[in-house]
Amino acid sequence: MHHHHLHELPSEQVILELISYNREKHDRNPFSNVDELLRNLHPERVNWINLDGLNVSPIIEKLQAHFCFHSLVVDDILNDQRPKVEEFDDYLFVTLKMLYRIEGSSIDYEQISFVLGKNYLLSFQEKEGDWFDGFRERIKLDQGRVRKKGADYLLYRLIDIIVENYYSVLENIGEQIEITESEIQQDATEENFQKVQQLKKELIYLHKALYPLRDAIGKLVKDESSFIEEENVKYFSDVYDHVIHLIDSLDTYRDLTSSLVDIYINTQNTKLNQVIRLLTIISTIFIPLTFIVGVYGMNFDYMPELRWQYGYHTIWIVMIVIAGSMIGFFKYKKWF
């Protein structure tokens, strides 16, 4: 009988890392073994434990046992959740979406969850890679305030970096809306309409990610959580303002996208009207001509004009005059 151990998993699937720092010292170490990591925690420092890859329940169970967090929290970490903040006796739980990019219908994102305690922060990510590399470097080089502050400030910085990136995703959608608008005005093709539908899907996704995030961060700011020092609440209110700003932009983009649908429908209608108008004019011109030809197509014996030498030519002249004068009249009325 042999047991499956953690280290049998391919190494890139699971990354377990501890960054511990205070004003004087800083360490950053990867660990393959969770027990070893837990032995390296420094109670007098801020300990940031990051786990990439959620397909490894033994690690999560050991962390859960060590930091005593609830099994419902583990469920929230492992399953797709709407962004939220929950405060427990010994820790604060935060989950939100980290967005990498949106291209058409493919949205590249992952759920990231944080457990914040008095001197530690655990972050759980679904896959390798995140937006925090530059920030990890700043901690190491002791730039900014982070080394002077506690774990709550670290949480703020990480959430802030995630929220900042929503800006670039939204800007990208704004550019797509502009491009699609000019394309639709030039030529309203089915393909352009599909693009508009995709933009709508992207905005719906962002709506689902941002509105609950606003409520979650708002709750953090208002509830005066015991895990966030009073002097750091202002930083979380700053993130809250960013999210509100993002939601405003999102609403504007949603209105613009709806107006794109209107532009598309109007352009389609105008095209259709032009075709119908042209066909109507052609058929209207032919109504009197068909009537004349019909009259002289009748087979009565006594039709005086039938025996007339110039009859055929005269009828042609009459028909050309009628058609010409009708075209002239339509032009005068600016119908085409």
215-273 tens-digit pLDDT: 999 998 888 788 898 899 999 999 999 999 999 999 999 999 999 988 888 888 988 99
> Phi and psi (nearest 5°) for 22?
-140, -160
* Fold entry, domain 6-267: Beta Polymerase; domain 2 (3.30.460)
Q: What are the tokens at 162? A: 């995630």
105-137 tens-digit pLDDT: 677 888 999 999 989 999 999 888 777 888 888
pLDDT at site 47? 94
* 190, pLDDT greater than 80: yes
* 326, pLDDT greater than 60: yes
Handedness of CA 215, 219, 221, 225 (dihedral sign): negative
Range(s) of the chain covered by CATH 3.30.460.20:
6-267
Coil, helix or strand for 333?
A: coil
> Phi and psi (nearest 5°) for 50?
-120, 130
pTM score? 0.79
Q: What are the tokens at 106? A: 């493919």
Is the separation of the CB atoms in 116 and 151 below 8 Å? yes
More confident residue, 214 or 192: 214
Is the separation of the CB atoms in 47 and 18 below 8 Å? yes
C-alpha span between 157 and 232 (Å, rounded):
11
Range(s) of the chain covered by CATH 1.20.58.340:
272-332
* 30, pLDDT greater than 50: yes
* Fold entry, domain 272-332: Methane Monooxygenase Hydroxylase; Chain G, domain 1 (1.20.58)
Is the separation of the CB atoms in 158 and 123 below 8 Å? yes
| Rg from Cα positions in the chain | 36
